[in-house]
Amino acid sequence: MTLISIGRLSDETGTKIPTIRYYESIGLLPEPPRTASNRRLYDPHAVARLRFIRHARDLGFEIEAIRDFLGLMDHPGGPCHHAHGLVRQHLEAIDAKIAQLQAMRHAIERVSPNCPYNRVEQCPAIEVLSDHALCPDGCP
């Protein structure tokens, strides 16, 4: 029964106020009741929902995936294999991104750290950026 203001919700979940209103505008958070003077009032259920959203976002899930999760959670008795699918998909996306970053790392690392010229002309750091042929295998 303890209803809180948007500022309080912001503090409790570490979510900026405009972001909360944004989530409401895209339908991730339901429109909350208002005071007589039109201010939003949130109940503990909304707090939990927003905490879920923020944590999933922090873990890199996209809004649409979160929308799916929330849809599932609205039917607690239903099956959960779709949730597992979403998680697995996301893990695969993360792995792909890590692999790509590591390939980029290797390509850039190739930039000779000891540059013998100290001039833009012939600087290996710039050359390796200019010429894809100098890149190692994994370069995107």
Residues that bind a copy of itself (CB under 8 A): 48, 51-52, 55-56, 58-61, 69, 72-73, 75-81, 83-84, 87, 90-91, 94-95, 97-98, 101-102, 104-105, 107-109, 111, 113, 115, 117-121, 123, 125-126, 129-132, 139-140
Q: Specify the residue, 5 or 123, whose C-beta has the smaller distance to a copy of itself.
A: 123
| Contact indicator for 115, 125 with CB cutoff of 8 Å | yes
| Identified binder of DNA from the candidate list 27, 30, 33, 62, rule CB under 7 A | 62
- How many angstroms separate the CA atoms of 16 and 35, rounded? 21
- How many angstroms separate the CA atoms of 18 and 7, rounded? 10
- DSSP tag of 18: H
Q: Could you tell me which of 21, 4, 61, 77 has the C-alpha nearest to residue 69?
A: 61
Site residues, Zn ion (CB under 5 A):
80, 115, 123, 132, 135, 139
